[in-house]
Structure 1
Amino acid sequence: MKILAIDTSNDVLGIALLSEEKIIGEYITNMKKNHSVRVMPAIERLLADCETGTEDLNKIVVAQGPGSYTGVRIGVTIAKTMAWSLGIPLVGVSSLAVLAAAPRYFSGYLCPLFDARRGLIYTGLYKYENGALVNVLEDRNILASAWAQTIKTYGEPILFIGNDIPIHKDTFQIELEEKAIFAQIPEQNPRPGELGLLGINLPAVDIHSFTPNYLRLVEAEAKWLEKQERKND
């Protein structure tokens, strides 16, 4: 079985090709660039370097969000199109779970996060139990200060993971003190290989009804709804 993993949900563009036995190849960049013009060439290059054709693929796993509205939409659209055209299964995985997956060595709680602006973050709480990654507190869009209050009652150390940690580091250090631990730079990028591993045994979704998980409305949609509500008052 060969699985193609696609993650364009944030600044990191990640593509991986893997089997049940190994990660065959990975492509990762971390730049504020338009994924829409880069993702297909990245997929083509990786498959070519790994001497794999699209006809050899058996499954596609995509980072479903949360993250950048445009980025999530690009990845999901490409994954759906490829899965439908190739007639192979499609699976979606939380973009936050991908971040949390790498630090298997850490025995405490894992807190992946992406900045969502205006003091808000996308986050969730995870933990490895018997070798499996478990979602302890579901993914959400929340003020960093409120999230710090929520998780400070947990008795074990918490490892914060993600490229946006510097934006909110002080908030967590103040509230959690020595329980707050911050991942090192090599762990901050979500690995597309981890994405593929998380989705390798998940059941396929319905391609046509599969949608991104934004966790919140984009600003334009929120303003439109507010306007409609005022009209109806």
Structure 2
Amino acid sequence: MILGMDTSSDTMTIALFNEGVVLGEYTTNLKKNHSVRLLPAIAALMEECAVKPTDIEKIAVAKGPGSYTGLRIGVTVAKTMAWDAGIPIVGISSLALLAENGLYFPGKVVALMDARRMNVYAGVYRASDGVMKNIVADSHIALTDLLEQLTAEKEAILFVGTLTEQIRLTVTEVLGERAVFSQADYTYARASSLVKLAENMDGEPADNFVPDYLKLAEAESKWLESRGSE
């Protein structure tokens, strides 16, 4: 039995998975406080699916990148539950999780998350034999630099993520008709994909697990800069 959760963005999604079957999933795509809603949602889903805490054998969580606050909420809950139960935790890239929405697209899939100031968190993926593979490592990058790397492409490229109008406009200006954007119901991550990806992964002890922010928080960056100038 696997419990999965992702709070790395405005989307909060949780799922229960057992022996190849998604028992239940709860997903919202709202700008609300995950810290207030996550634990009650997990409890409600477990009750609905008649799953007890002792039934959980592994916990899967989106490990980043994404919202610093959102990531910390999901990772803290996942680590606490895994540590308390003495079970492993599996971290899945938030971008890899988004890219799963393009599993049946016949070309490159770019998973994007807005990182502000026209920067993005991005990963380039392609499906092979029914498995989505990362072909350009996840990174924090200026959108213009990312698009420059893609201008030589001749095939259509699928962009997956909840994107601002400015990001969409910039992508279209550079790539034209080669840019394809996911439909509304495929713009956000689903925990049902998360638990599926975690099924055959061993995981690690909760004590060792850390999020993958890809970029320091602004306050941390400024602190390091100030220390370097001393």
Length-normalised TM-score, structure 2: 0.97
Indicate whether 1:45 and 2:14 are aligned.
no
- CA shift, 1:157, in A, is 1.5
Amino acid at match of 1:223: K
Distance, in Å, in 2 between the alignment partners of 1:165 and 1:184 is 14
Q: Which residue of 2 aligns with 1:82?
A: 81
What is the Cα deviation at residue 65 of structure 1? 0.4
Question: Could you tell me which residue of structure 2 aligns to residue 18 of structure 1?
Answer: 17
TM-score, length-normalised on structure 1?
Answer: 0.96
Would the alpha carbon gap of residues 189 and 72 (structure 1) be closer, same or farther in structure 2, given more than 3 Å must change? same
Q: How does 1:67-106 map to 2 (within 5 A)?
A: 67-106=66-105
1:104: Cα distance to partner? 2.1
Listed as ranges, the matches of 1:23-38 within 5 Å are 23-38=22-37
Alpha-carbon distance in 2 for matches of 1:4, 1:154: 39
Cα deviations by residue, 1:161-201 (Å, 9 ceiling, x for unpaired): 11125330111112111211001001012111001111111
Partner-residue secondary structure (3-state), 2:208:
coil
Q: Which letter maps to 2:23?
A: I
Aligned position for 1:174: 173
Which residue is 2:59 aligned to? Answer: 60
Matches within 5 A, 1:189-208: 189-208=188-207
List alignment gaps of at least 5 residues for structure 1. none
- Asked if structure 2 preserves the Cα contact closer than 8 Å seen for 1:113 and 1:165, the reply is no
Aligned-partner Cα distance in 2 for 1:115–1:102: 17
String of CA shifts for 1:53-99, please: whole Å, max 9, x gaps. 11111111000000000100111111111111111121000001111
Does the CA contact (< 8 Å) of 2:140 and 2:215 recur in 1? yes
1:227 aligns with 2:226: yes
Identity among equivalent pairs (%): 45
Paired position in structure 2 for 1:127: 126
Question: SS of the counterpart of 1:190?
Answer: coil
Q: Which residue of 2 aligns with 1:217?
A: 216
Number of residues of Structure 1 aligned to a counterpart in Structure 2: 230
Write the letter of the residue equivalent to 1:44: A
Shift of 1:20: 2.9
Structure 1 stretch displaced more, 17-26 or 209-218: 17-26
Q: CA RMSD in A?
A: 1.1
Cα deviation 1:119-163 (Å, max 9, x = unaligned): 100111001101111001010011111110012223432100111
CA distance in 2 between partners of 1:229 and 1:171 (Å): 35
User: Letter of the aligned partner of 2:64 in structure 1?
Assistant: G
* Aligned partner of residue 102 in structure 1, secondary structure: helix
